[in-house]
Structure formats: C-alpha cells, structure tokens
C-alpha cells in the first residue's frame, strides 16, 4: 500500500501487524483455504483457535488449555455442520467444503465487525456454496460489514448490496444494482458423501506407520550393514551384532539369561543386577554417550518442528563445552550444586546465542539455515581450536606442550550416582537429559510458544495470516535448539571430560549424530530417547575397548556405525518417497483416463 489509510470503525490500522488488525475486529476468509486459511496438519480444534490461542480462555500466561480448545471446537463444528471428523481430526482429512466451513466457523465465530471474504466459494460443490452464501447473508443481517471479493459475477449480484468493480488497481464508479434489503433464495445444502477422502486415508496410513516406519528403517539399515560386513570381511554379521550388543552393556537390563537350542531352551539362568560387573560398566559408558545424543537430537527436532533444519548442533555443542569449561574454572569457591548450575546455565545460553544467530539471519535476510549453521559449525571449530590450541587464551599454562585447557574445579563436577567416579561412572546428567525430553514435549504441546512453532513449521503462510510472527518463531526455534545442544556440551564437560583439548574440539561428531537421532525418532520425545539409546549402544559397542577383535576388528566397526547412521538418514525419508510415487502414479492414471475420454 503506497498511500491512503485503512480504518476499522474509527481506528487507524494502517501498517499494523496481522495480529493487531485481527484483534481490532477484522475477520478474513482467505482465497486459498489450504495455503492461508488452515494448518492442514493441525487438528480442527487447533485450527479454530488460530487467532485466539494466546488469549483466555484458550490459554493463560503462555500455558495452553487443549480441553478448552476441544470444547469450543465441538460447539462450532456442530453449529456450522462440519462433517467428516471431530475436534481432534486433522484438517487435511476433510473435504474442501468442510475445510471451508471450518474457516467460516473460526472467522465468523469470533464476531468480527468487518469480514473480508475473498473467493469464499472457490472449488466448492453446490451444497457447500449454498452453505457459504447463507452464512455470509447471516453475518450481514447481524450488522457485520461484509466485503466480498469474487470473480463470479452471479455470486456478486446475488449477494451484494453494493458493487464496486476494480480494474488495474482502481475502482470504477458506476451505479450499483438496487439489491438493498433483498436476500437471495438458497436451498438447504445437499448431504455430503461419508466416504473417507484420500487425505483421510493418507492420514490414517501415516498414523498407523508412525511406529512401524522407524523400526523398519533401523532394521533395513542393520541388514544392509550386515551385508557390507559379510561382503568386505567375510565375518558373520549376526556374531558381529551380538558382540556389539554385548559390548554396549544393554544385556545388563535383563536379569534373565536364556540359552536357546534350535527348538527349545536349554536352560534359564538368573543373573541378577550386578552393579559392579563388566556389563554394568559397559552400560554406564553407553548411557554417558546417550545423554548428549538425546540433547543434540532435541536440538535438531525442535528446529524441525518449526520447519527449520538445524545442522549446527555440532557448533552449538562446541560453544557450550567451551563456555562450560571456562565457568567451571571460574567461581571455584562456590558450593558444588550452585557452581554446576551456573556453568550449565552459561553454556545453555551460549548455545542459544549461537543457534539464535542462524535464526536471526533467517528472519531478517531470509538466509537459509542449512548454509548459516554449516558456516557457524566451522566458525565454532576454528575459534575453539584457537582458544584451546597452542598459546591460546584457554590453554593450561602448566602444560605448554599440550593443547588443553585447565581442568575445571572439583565443585563443578557432576555427581556420579552409579559406578566408580574414577572409571567414568554414570553421572546425574543422564537425568537432566531425560528431563529435557519432558520439557521438549511440554513446550511443544502445552504452551502457546509450542503452538506457534508447530503452526509455522506446518504452514508458515497460514500462521502469518493467523497473526503469528513467523520471524520471531524462526529466531526462538533456533535459539531453543542451540540451548539444547549447548546444554549437551556442558554435561559432557562437567560430567566426565573435565577439560577440553584440541583433538576433542576438532573431532567431535555428537551434533551430527544428533541429526540421525532426531530423524529416526521422528522428532518425538519417546522416539528420540530410543533412537539415542540405539546410536549410543552402537558407538560404545564398537569401541576398541568393548569389541572382541577375533569377531570383528574394532577399527572397522567404527565405519560400520557410520554406515548405519548414513543409511538411517537415507531411509528415514522412505515414507515420503513412497507417498510421492503413489501420488505421481495416481496423477498419471488420471491424465491417461482424461486422454482416453477426450479421444
């Protein structure tokens, strides 16, 4: 808009953001209901709250009330005769007519003083068109100003009290048709088909495959990895995987040992939970690795939920570790728990700031987060190398010949609750990682921030039209992701490393493995937990300390881990590929059918 004013009543809203304009009494039915009107992956209850989710009674102090959303949605769906689902049905599962009814229910149900309806009947069947017309007439009769924008002349003439023709951006003057006080005759809508739509069947397929898909992905990755083992070394893949499993210590979780024959068990032995044997020690080391994998997996998953691909977990992890080592050296006179908390908070904030840089660039310049996070990874690596390297500011002055920092104070060590602290027993950081999983789930599903992040991730355009600041959420999502990764770096540093050396800074891969963890876990809290456990078991089980060289060479086993990791990333998108090919097949068949009919 280059000139003039936009007012609602007597209030000037020129230049206001969408949220402010909507709050001042504007309702808007967009031209494209699927692009701007609905977040198709949201439930109907969530879509109906798109404008008011951050206000009472839907939420309070940033805390979302899903039951309230469902109660209100149930009333609106009944009032507007939305068929094909309930409040918790995904919007994508509805037909076009019912999707438009949802948009009408949300916009008119807010009781706006001005309602803009752009192409409100586009792509609808006769019954749905008549329903939309009836609701627009009711809104007019209830005293609302309705601005109808349409390319259908019959629709304009039958509904409008006054008509303005716009040509090349200018309104053409002319006498409007005398339609004042006349209400078009509309018949009752025809019953819509109860046959589930393609979108509904597709949604059902995706939900039913929610657990099966990652399990199949992992199995296929292990199968191909086993074929590589056999083809390159001639070793038995089953024996190799059994040795890796044994080295991971996961067998400690089962106190029962079963010796199987071909057709029946030879015997069942009770082994008990011996907390001091080698298997217990191996499990402790596995869970130490699992801890940062959970957090770096969350760093990737949270950004994914906002439609962003955070490849910068490794750099954010490094920044967190560097910050933690410095704060672990400082404040050595503080009590232990307080010192640990200060160091972890500082590292978390440092990771958030590092991730927030990519989010800020995305929000302000549109720079792609993949490019910026890769660049930030390299910056973190070389800045870290300078800081802890030879003659670096953080190098231990007592070890001139070694590029390593000073050790942190004893008060900054995380408490070891299982195992021998001298042998890197399992520290309380594991419980912090588990708590982070809970925080992740609550943040996404029970807060207004999580609602905004998911809305932007599923449909940024609809979120923007709903009054959500897309730029703000890009920044916050990347900052929160960086906070998870920075926390991971601090836990490793305070839990078992206790200082930082040049080799660690330049060779750490935890952030990159976190990508596979998030993808295999499908960005869910439970999925990330089990995915991190699997990759942690692989990393520890293939170490030279745990893998029997007579079964498989440990130096090759590390490559096997990377192969499986790469295959997981490759196959995790298999369901999307299958869906794409299926839709392409249907389009080809449809075009062939149309060609045959024309012939």
Q: Are residues 157 and 276 in the same domain?
A: no
Q: Is the pLDDT of residue 261 over 60?
A: no
Residue with tokens 């930082």: 500
pLDDT confidence of residue 594: 64
Select the more confidently predicted residue: 29 or 550.
29
pLDDT confidence of residue 219: 84
Domain span at residue 247 reads 213-577
pLDDT confidence of residue 157: 87
User: What average pLDDT does this structure show over 163-181?
Assistant: 62
Q: Is the pLDDT of residue 69 over 50?
A: yes
Please report which confidence band the pLDDT of residue 598 belongs to, taking 50, 70 and 90 as the band edges. low
In a domain, 587, yes or no: no
Cα end-to-end span (Å), the chain: 49
Q: Is the pLDDT of residue 164 over 90?
A: no
pLDDT confidence of residue 262: 47
Q: How far is CA 194 from CA 58, 85, 191, in A?
A: 31, 10, 9
Q: What is the pLDDT of residues 390-401, one digit of tens each?
A: 999 999 999 888
Q: Is the pLDDT of residue 577 over 60?
A: no
pLDDT confidence of residue 243: 83
Q: Is the pLDDT of residue 570 over 90?
A: no
520 closest CA partner among 485, 450, 567, 488? 567
Q: Is the pLDDT of residue 477 over 70?
A: yes
In the chain, % of residues over pLDDT 70: 83
- For 430-449, b/e burial (b = at least 16 CB within 10 A) is bebbeebbeebeebbebbbb
For the residues of 550-583, what is the DSSP string, one character each?
TTS-HHHHHHHHHHHHHHHHHHTTHHHHHHHHHH
In a domain, 296, yes or no: yes
Domain final residue pick, 142, 172, 201:
201
In a domain, 477, yes or no: yes
Q: What is the pLDDT of residues 197-233, one digit of tens each?
A: 333 343 444 454 566 777 777 888 888 888 887 887 7
> Residue 41 is encoded by which pair of tokens?
């992956």
Lowest mean pLDDT of 66-70, 157-161, 394-398, 546-550, name the range: 546-550
Q: Is the pLDDT of residue 505 over 90?
A: yes
In a domain, 45, yes or no: yes
Q: What is the pLDDT of residues 409-454, one digit of tens each?
A: 999 999 999 888 888 889 999 999 999 999 999 999 999 999 999 9
User: What average pLDDT does this structure show over 474-499?
Assistant: 96
Q: Are residues 279 and 157 in the same domain?
A: no
Q: Are residues 176 and 238 in the same domain?
A: no
Q: Are residues 239 and 302 in the same domain?
A: yes
Q: Are residues 406 and 531 in the same domain?
A: yes
Select the more confidently predicted residue: 322 or 34.
322
Give this prediction's pTM: 0.85
Q: Is the pLDDT of residue 586 over 70?
A: no
Q: Is 442:453 a contact under the CB 8 Å cutoff?
A: no
Distance CA 379, CA 314 (A): 11
What does the H/E/C string look like for 513-553?
HHHHHHHHCCCCHHHHHHHHHHHHHHHHHCCCCCCCCCCCC
Q: How far is CA 206 from CA 93, 201, 538, in A?
A: 12, 9, 28
Residue with tokens 């199968």: 223
For the residues of 322-333, what is the DSSP string, one character each?
HHHHHHHHS-TT
Q: Are residues 177 and 217 in the same domain?
A: no
Domain final residue pick, 201, 236, 261:
201
pLDDT confidence of residue 235: 80
Q: Is the pLDDT of residue 196 over 90?
A: no
Q: Is the pLDDT of residue 174 over 80?
A: no
Lowest mean pLDDT of 269-283, 311-325, 460-474, name the range: 269-283
Q: Are residues 172 and 219 in the same domain?
A: no
Q: Is the pLDDT of residue 265 over 70?
A: no
Q: Are residues 229 and 161 in the same domain?
A: no
460 three-state secondary structure: helix
Q: Are residues 323 and 400 in the same domain?
A: yes
Q: What is the pLDDT of residues 446-471, one digit of tens each?
A: 999 999 999 999 999 999 998 999 99
Lowest mean pLDDT of 52-61, 332-341, 548-557, name the range: 548-557
Q: What is the pLDDT of residues 135-157, one digit of tens each?
A: 999 999 998 999 999 888 888 88
User: What average pLDDT does this structure show over 98-116?
Assistant: 92
Select the more confidently predicted residue: 556 or 424.
424
In a domain, 305, yes or no: yes
Q: Are residues 258 and 407 in the same domain?
A: yes
In the chain, % of residues over pLDDT 90: 50
pLDDT confidence of residue 198: 33
pLDDT confidence of residue 353: 97
In a domain, 319, yes or no: yes
φ, ψ dihedrals at 405, nearest 5°? -80, 170
User: What average pLDDT does this structure show over 352-381?
Assistant: 96
Q: Are residues 154 and 225 in the same domain?
A: no
Q: Are residues 157 and 219 in the same domain?
A: no
- Report the mean per-residue pLDDT for the chain: 84
Q: Is the pLDDT of residue 124 over 90?
A: no
57 three-state secondary structure: coil
Distance CA 101, CA 80 (A): 6
Q: Is the pLDDT of residue 360 over 90?
A: yes
Tally of domains in the chain: 2
In a domain, 454, yes or no: yes
pLDDT confidence of residue 231: 83
Q: Where are the beta strands (DSSP E) in 144-193?
A: 145-149, 165-167, 170-172
Q: How many CB atoms lie within 10 A of CB 488?
A: 34
Q: What is the pLDDT of residues 334-354, one digit of tens each?
A: 888 999 999 999 999 999 999
Q: How far is CA 265 from the centre of its chain?
A: 45
Select the more confidently predicted residue: 259 or 95.
95
Distance CA 491, CA 414 (A): 8
pLDDT confidence of residue 217: 77
In a domain, 277, yes or no: yes
Tell me: cis bond preceding 57? Omega within 30 of 0 counts.
yes
Please report which confidence band the pLDDT of residue 187 belongs to, taking 50, 70 and 90 as the band edges. very low
**What CATH number is attached to the domain comprising 52?**
3.40.50.300
Q: Is 44:73 a contact under the CB 8 Å cutoff?
A: yes
Domain final residue pick, 146, 167, 201:
201
């Amino acid at each position: 808009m280059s000139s003039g004013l936009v007012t609602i009543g007597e209030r000037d809203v020129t230049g206001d953001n969408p949220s402010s304009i909507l709050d001042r009494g504007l309702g808007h039915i967009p031209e494209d209901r699927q692009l701007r009107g609905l977040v198709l992956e949201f439930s109907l209850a969530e879509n109906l709250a798109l404008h008011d989710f951050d206000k009472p009674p839907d939420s309070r102090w940033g805390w979302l009330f899903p039951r309230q959303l469902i109660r209100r949605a149930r009333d609106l769906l009944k009032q507007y005769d939305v068929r094909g689902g309930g409040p918790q049905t995904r919007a994508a599962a509805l037909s076009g007519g019912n999707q438009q009814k949802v948009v009408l229910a949300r916009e008119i149900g807010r009781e706006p003083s001005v309602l803009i309806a752009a192409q409100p009947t586009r792509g609808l069947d006769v019954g749905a068109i008549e329903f939309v017309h009836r609701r627009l007439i009711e809104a007019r009769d209830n005293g609302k100003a309705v601005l109808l924008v349409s390319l259908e002349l019959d629709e304009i003439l039958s509904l409008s009290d006054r008509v303005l023709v716009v040509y090349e951006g200018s309104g053409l003057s002319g006498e409007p048709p005398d339609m004042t006080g006349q209400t078009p005759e509309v018949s009752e809508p025809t019953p819509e088909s109860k046959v589930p739509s393609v979108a509904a069947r597709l949604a059902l397929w995706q939900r039913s495959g929610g657990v099966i898909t990652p399990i199949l992905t992992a199995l296929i990755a292990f199968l191909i990895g086993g074929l590589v083992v056999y083809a390159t070394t001639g070793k038995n893949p089953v024996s190799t995987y059994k040795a890796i499993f044994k080295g991971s210590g996961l067998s400690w979780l089962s106190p029962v040992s079963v010796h199987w024959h071909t057709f029946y068990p030879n015997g069942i032995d009770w082994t008990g939970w011996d907390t001091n044997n080698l298997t217990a020690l191996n499990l402790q080391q596995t869970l130490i690795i699992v801890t940062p994998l959970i957090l770096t997996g969350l760093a990737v998953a949270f950004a994914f939920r906002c439609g962003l691909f955070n490849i910068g977990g490794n750099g954010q992890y490094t920044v967190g570790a560097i910050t933690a080592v410095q704060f672990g050296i400082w404040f050595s006179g503080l009590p232990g728990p307080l010192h640990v908390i200060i160091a972890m908070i500082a590292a978390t904030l440092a990771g958030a700031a590092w991730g927030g840089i990519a989010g800020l660039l995305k929000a302000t310049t549109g720079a792609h987060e993949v490019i910026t996070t890769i660049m930030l990874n390299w910056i973190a690596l070389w800045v870290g190398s300078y800081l802890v390297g030879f003659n670096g500011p953080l190098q231990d002055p007592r070890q001139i010949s070694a590029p390593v920092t000073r050790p942190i104070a004893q008060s900054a060590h995380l408490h070891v609750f299982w195992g021998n602290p001298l042998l890197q027993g399992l520290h309380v950081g594991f419980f912090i990682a588990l708590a982070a999983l809970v925080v992740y789930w609550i943040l996404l599903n029970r807060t207004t921030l999580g609602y905004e992040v998911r809305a932007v991730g599923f449909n940024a355009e609809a979120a923007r039209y709903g009054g959500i600041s897309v730029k703000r959420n890009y920044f916050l999502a990347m900052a929160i992701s960086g906070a998870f990764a920075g926390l991971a770096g601090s836990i490793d540093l305070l839990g078992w490393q206790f200082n930082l050396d040049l080799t660690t800074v330049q060779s750490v891969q935890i952030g990159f493995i976190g990508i596979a963890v998030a993808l295999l876990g499908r960005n869910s809290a439970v999925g990330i937990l089990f995915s991190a456990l699997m990759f942690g078991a692989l990393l520890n089980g293939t170490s030279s300390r745990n893998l029997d060289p007579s079964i498989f060479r440990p130096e090759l086993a590390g490559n096997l881990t990377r192969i499986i990791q790469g295959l997981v990333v490759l196959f995790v998108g298999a369901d999307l590929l299958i869906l794409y090919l299926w839709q392409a097949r249907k389009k080809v068949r449809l075009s062939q059918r149309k060609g045959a009919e024309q012939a």
